[in-house]
Amino acid sequence: MNRVPITARGAEQLKVELHKLKSEERPRIIAAIAEAREHGDLKENAEYHAAREQQSFVEGRIADIEGKLSNAQIIDPASLDAGGRVVFGATVTLADEETGKEVSYQIVGEDEADIKQNLISVSSPIARALIGKEEGDIASVQAPGGIREYEIVEVKYI
């Protein structure tokens, strides 16, 4: 099976969520099901059905996280030394060739991507255009409005 790259921070976030689901959510739902069973007829018991639905969701999420962690290739960007090249986990500062506006992105795994926090997926068009390039290189990105060009100002491994 293919190993999926994930940063050490992203793996830790998944582990925290998994622990919370197993130690807090699962026992709470089990207690809710037990309480709902005490109310009698299960066919017409909305509390019971809602608790079972929650249980199904939580168990599915637990299985999903465990699967992701078992297939994860955990990469700590701080321990990378790619010689200034853009690689998975790198934080890249870009300057738009047209406007001169600068922006920084960290290239992360698909599960941890969040554009609001400037975390972009390794499979995104911008990341694919940046991978392998170095400071001073120009990256061409196919955007909805046409091709955009960015100069790589700085590459950090943090």
> Do residues 88 and 121 both lie within one domain?
yes
pLDDT of residue 48 exceeding 80 = yes
Position 59 pLDDT exceeds 70: yes
* Residue 1: predicted pLDDT: 57
The string of pLDDT tens digits covering residues 33-47 is: 999 888 877 778 888
Predicted local distance difference test score (pLDDT) of residue 23? 97
Q: What is the DSSP string of the chain?
A: -PPEEEEHHHHHHHHHHHHHIIIIIHHHHHHHHHHHHTTS-STT-HHHHHHHHHHHHHHHHHHHHHHHHHTEEEE-GGG---TTB--TT-EEEEEETTT--EEEEEEE-GGG-BGGGTEEETTSHHHHHHTT-BTT-EEEEEETTEEEEEEEEEEE--
Q: What is the pTM of this model?
A: 0.83
Domain that residue 15 falls in:
4-75
Q: Answer yes or no: do 20 and 71 share one domain.
A: yes
CATH number at residue 35: 1.10.287.180
Between 104 and 83, the higher pLDDT residue? 104
**59 and 41 housed in the same domain:** yes
Q: Assess whether 54 and 88 both reside in one domain.
A: no
